[in-house]
Copies of this chain bind each other. A is one copy, B any other.
């Protein structure tokens, strides 16, 4: 049975045992298990836990941020969607006719209506 138990790993990484379980639940750092189910932390997990700590502190991140970063990292479609949204700062959206784009000089009420129509359904109120 090689590897540090959860309390030992906690002591060396600065996390609490409770947090090590939480971090595992968050999908960030898991350890392997002994035959009886005990968590066993090897050097790689310990290092990962330490660098995680430093990362959060250095950049003021939350664990949930890293959870989201992990999603971004694994989910290609998600990353593409988010990147695209972020990249489109002051840009004309691609799926809309650049033709007139709502004749931006009409009466305000007409503009509002046009905008509503441009956006199909959603809160028909």
Q: Please report A residues at the B interface, Cβ cutoff 8 Å.
A: 2, 4, 8, 11-14, 42-44, 46-48, 50-52, 55, 58-59, 61, 64-66, 68-70, 72-73, 75, 78, 81-83, 85-86, 88, 90-93, 96, 101-102, 104-105, 108, 111-112, 115-116, 119, 122-123
B48 with A88: CB separation less than 8 A: yes
Chain B residues lying within 8 Å of A93, measured Cβ to Cβ, are 44, 47-48, 51
Known contacts A11-B112, A47-B93, A82-B69; is A2 also within 8 Å of B59 by CB?
A: no
Which secondary structure characterizes the binding site on chain A?
Answer: helix
In the assembled complex, the Cα of A75 lies from the Cα of B78 at a distance in Å of: 19
**CA–CA, A78 and B72, complex, Å:** 14
A sample of 9 inter-chain contacts (CB < 8 A) reads A4-B111, A11-B116, A12-B112, A47-B96, A48-B93, A51-B85, A66-B85, A69-B82, A69-B86
CA distance A122 to B57 in the complex (A): 13
For the complex, what is the distance from the CA of A108 to the CA of B41, rounded to whole Å?
12
A50-B119 in contact (CB<8A): yes
User: Is the Cβ of A85 less than 8 Å from the Cβ of B52?
Assistant: yes
In the complex, what residues of B have CB within 8 A of residue A14's CB? 122-123
